[in-house]
Amino acid sequence: MTLFDGITARLVETDRLGVNVLERVGDDPATAAEHTVVFVHGNVSSSVFWQEIMQDLPSELRVVAVDLRGFGRTEHTPIDATRGVRDFSDDLFATLRALDIDEAHLVGWSLGGAVVMQYALEHPVRSLTLQAPVSPYGFGGTRRDGSRLHDDAAGTGAGIANDDFVQRLTDHDTTAEAPTSPRSVFRSSYVAPGYTSEHEDAWVEAMLSTSTAGGNYPGDAVATTTWPGFAPGTTGVLNTLSPKYFDVSAIVDLAVKPPILWIHGTADAVISDTSFSDLNHLGSLGVVPDWPGADIAPAQPMVSQTRDVLAAYSERGGEVTEVAVDGAGHSVHLERPAQFRRALLTHIGYVGRPADPAPPTEAIILRSAD
């Protein structure tokens, strides 16, 4: 694990598993909930990805980033996908309790967005920040209203993983010699064209910390007669996000609704209405053969689904702020760190030095019950 200046790592023992946690040197463990921020990473990554923004946040805040099970230095315990992402959210709850954090501002990226939404269904939070989150209806296989295309959720779950990419994760391939190498996937899917960083080796290293052991990434698949021939199994990361097991749209019914910041890039190749990770969309492009057509296998409108659910959240009394970052990809916090930082600080109500201004009002779309 590559640690940046001022960042420390430690293993926190919980009653569920050992969880790796990143913290900042000098942060006060007694910091109040309104000044505590917890970061949850996305799929095929780790807490390492949060270090730049952790370094850059005001010292008055307490900042923590966790490794989900099967990623980074957290134990690679098998994942029960039939619970959706509850194994992850239960781990997060146990970790925060071990750190004496009863409540905090939660920031979730991609898979992490799914985890913090599930967490909020079961535990109080100060606020949610959803960066390029998975749709509240899961990944793949649903119509705009969240209903499943097929009862068996065909075309979703672990079967969507590229076998060569998984093998290269297992082999710890750091090259960019193939489009399926982790470094190439980072450049093509995690960020928009033009992004460069002196820390790219650290990001690739974090990707390679993903466990490909049984029960972790990607999980198991089962055969089906429905195109494209597979359906989700019961274990592993990708199956947790299948609509067969995952649906957090019930956040609209929360009695106490934490304010939500939804920040995403307009050039995101992963979370999109035309996602290049959605087999139905790839089928429509001819990349996956024998696509049965849009009537049977339409692409999942991921961004539109999130917008619809958050609009309903607002209509039922919640506060929602959407920041769509023009030209950014799947990792706004890496690609546009200043804009991400300003939006986050404004969202959590941090009032600090003049160097911490609010973002321009025209960059934010506000929805609220008022």
Residue 208 maps to which CATH number? 3.40.50.1820
Cα separation, 232 vs 238, in Å, equals 8
Tell which phi-psi region holds residue 126, choosing left (phi > 0), alpha (psi between -120 and 50) or beta. alpha
Cα separation, 69 vs 76, in Å, equals 6
Structural domain span for residue 340: 7-367
Mean per-residue pLDDT over the chain, rounded: 94
Contacts of 313 (CB under 8 A, 6+ apart): 251, 252, 257, 260, 320
Q: Helix 111-122 crosses helix 86-98 at what angle (to 10 degrees)?
A: 70
List beta partners, residue 8: 23
Cα separation, 161 vs 217, in Å, equals 9
What pLDDT does residue 368 have? 37
Contact (Cβ atoms closer than 8 angstroms) between residue 292 and residue 231? no
Residue 269 lies in a domain: yes
For 97-153, give the DSSP string: HHTT-SS-EEEEETHHHHHHHHHHHHS--SEEEEESPPPTT-SSSB-TTS-BSSTT-
Residue 1 lies in a domain: no
Six token digits for residue 211 = 């466990």
What pLDDT does residue 181 have? 98
Stretches in the chain below the pLDDT threshold 70: 352-370
Residue 158 lies in a domain: yes
Q: What is the pTM of this model?
A: 0.94
Residue 281 lies in a domain: yes
List beta partners, residue 9: 22
Helix (H) or strand (E) holding 203: helix 200-208
Residue 119 lies in a domain: yes
Number of domains in the chain: 1
Residue 2 lies in a domain: no
What pLDDT does residue 363 have? 43
Cα–Cα nearest to 66, from 18, 27, 24, 20: 20
Residue 253 lies in a domain: yes
CA angle 57, 62, 65 (to 5 degrees): 80
Question: What single DSSP character describes residue 358?
Answer: P
Residue 33 lies in a domain: yes
What pLDDT does residue 364 have? 43
